Structure 1
Amino acid sequence: MNSLPAEGCDTLHTLDLPDGNRTPDALISTLADQQQRVVFSKDTDFIQSHLLQGTPRQLLVIATGNIRNAELSALVLNALPLLKNLFAAHQLVELHRSAIIIRQ
């Protein structure tokens, strides 16, 4: 997803955080909410937290199954204009290989 900054997206990867990939989900959610970021994740823990606690406030669930990074990047970049519009009005969106689903 290194191409997102080139598309004008302000991104922050867990590797950029002091504890890297060991950063607790709760801290990732808190940072995302404070900085008005959308969390991108395949992790079902984020879905549970979003549904039960309302955090992270905005979540993009990557529901592609196993996928190469290049394919995932292309998928996200192709969907980016629609995703930006969807996140203006929605908080939980699923990205599949052939569909985008809005969850309430």
Structure 2
Amino acid sequence: MRFLIDANLPFKLAQTLKNKGYDVIHTDDLPNKERTTDKEIRKIAIDQNYTIISKDSDFLDSHLLQRIPTKLLFVATGNIINKDLIDLFNKNFEAINKLFDSYDLIELNNKQIIGHEK
């Protein structure tokens, strides 16, 4: 799978997932960096088959109402320090990746991973 990480998550998360062998870009890798609009991010995700990883509820709303992006990992951890966020991803990312075989929307919070029905 390919992942596009939104600006509201740390660039270090992209580096961590790349080191695990995943195909990952962060909005900081895009020409407009953190100024890339949600609309542009959704278009890139569709055109280049990326799953968006974001804390932005606008992506959640768009997925639920329009199925755009087609796949979303919604990070619902609230305020969390980067180290704890990276640890949470390190602990759970293999399971998250496998859940995308069955679900298009996955929610990650501090205590659990939830796959939402298609």
* Matches of 2:97 and 2:114, distance apart in 1: 14
Q: What count of residue pairs does the alignment treat as equivalent? A: 104
Paired residue type of 1:10: D
Q: How far does residue 30 in structure 1 lie from its aligned partner after superposition?
A: 1.5
Q: How far does residue 74 in structure 1 lie from its aligned partner after superposition?
A: 1.1
Aligned equivalent of 1:15, options 17, 28, 31:
28
Match of 2:37 in 1: 24
Q: How far does residue 102 in structure 1 lie from its aligned partner after superposition?
A: 1.3
Match of 2:10 in 1: none
Aligned equivalent of 1:48, options 57, 61, 65:
61
Which one has a larger percent strand, Structure 1 or Structure 2? 2
Identity %: 40
Match of 1:74 in 2: 87
Which consecutive residues of structure 1, in runs of 5 or more, have no partner in the other structure? Answer: none
Give the match's secondary structure for 2:53: strand
* Matches of 1:35 and 1:14, distance apart in 2: 14
Match of 2:9 in 1: none
Which consecutive residues of structure 2, in runs of 5 or more, have no partner in the other structure? Answer: 1-12
RMSD value, Cα: 1.0
Match of 1:102 in 2: 115
* Matches of 1:89 and 1:37, distance apart in 2: 16
Paired residue type of 2:45: A
Q: When the two structures are superposed, what TM-score results if normalisation uses the length of structure 2?
A: 0.83
Paired residue type of 2:70: R
Match of 1:4 in 2: 17
Q: When the two structures are superposed, what TM-score results if normalisation uses the length of structure 1?
A: 0.94
